[in-house]
Amino acid sequence: MNKGIFIAVLVVVIALAIVGYETTQPKTDTTQSANSAPATTAPKKADEAEVMTASTYKNGTYTVTGNYTSPGGPEEIDVTITLEGDVVTAAEVVAKAELPISKEKQGIFIENFEPMVVGKNIDEVQLDKVSSSSLTPKGFNDALEKVKEEAKA
């Protein structure tokens, strides 16, 4: 095969791979127009107000242990979540790893996870990658499911 054609085909394959990767990543739009205001509607009856503010989960602070398996074996993290109206208002993770690499990965997770969780509806939180924290998000998601079970209203 001609070297020039091979390079051209390679460039096209790489470009398609990059475009495919970017289209699979979740997009978030945090911009808000200066002229836009949050839509609000006033309930017409008292019972409608109760329906609008009904929560799936009880407000409170919940501490659970999340479990996951690393190549070195089972790992744990302690997770504390504070809920108000089904929204995570505070979150804390305490590393419990024993292996040095797991300690490092849990530390990276702890430094970077909060913006992906705090201020979000608990049912919309599902972490897959947080920096290079490896498998720690699986332990966090496990803990989150335990919090949901404990906090069911």
Instruction: Give the per-residue pLDDT at 54.
Output: 76
Lowest-confidence pick of 28-37, 44-53, 106-115: 28-37
pLDDT at 131 over 80: no
Using CA of residue 123, residue 104, residue 28, residue 83, what is the dihedral sign? Answer: positive
Task: Please state the domain extents for the chain.
Answer: 55-151
**Two tokens at 22?**
């970017």
* Residue 28 confidence class, pLDDT cut points 50, 70, 90: very low
Given a contact cutoff of 8 angstroms between Cβ atoms, the answer to whether 59 and 89 are in contact is no
**Two tokens at 50?**
């109760």
3-class DSSP assignment, residue 121: strand
Domain 55-151, CATH number (from 1.10.800.10, 3.40.50.720, 3.40.50.150, 3.90.1010.10): 3.90.1010.10
Which position has the higher pLDDT, 97 or 27?
97
Using CA of residue 39, residue 44, residue 45, residue 47, what is the dihedral sign? Answer: negative
Instruction: Tell me the whole-structure pTM to 2 decimals.
Output: 0.64
* Residue 128 confidence class, pLDDT cut points 50, 70, 90: confident
pLDDT at 13 over 70: no
Q: How far apart are CA 133 and CA 143, in angstroms?
A: 16
Which position has the higher pLDDT, 44 or 140?
140
Nearest to 78 by CA among 60, 104, 96: 96
Which string of DSSP letters, residue by residue, matches 98-116?
Answer: -SHHHHHHHHHHHHHSGGG
Lowest-confidence pick of 26-40, 51-65, 106-120, 130-144: 26-40
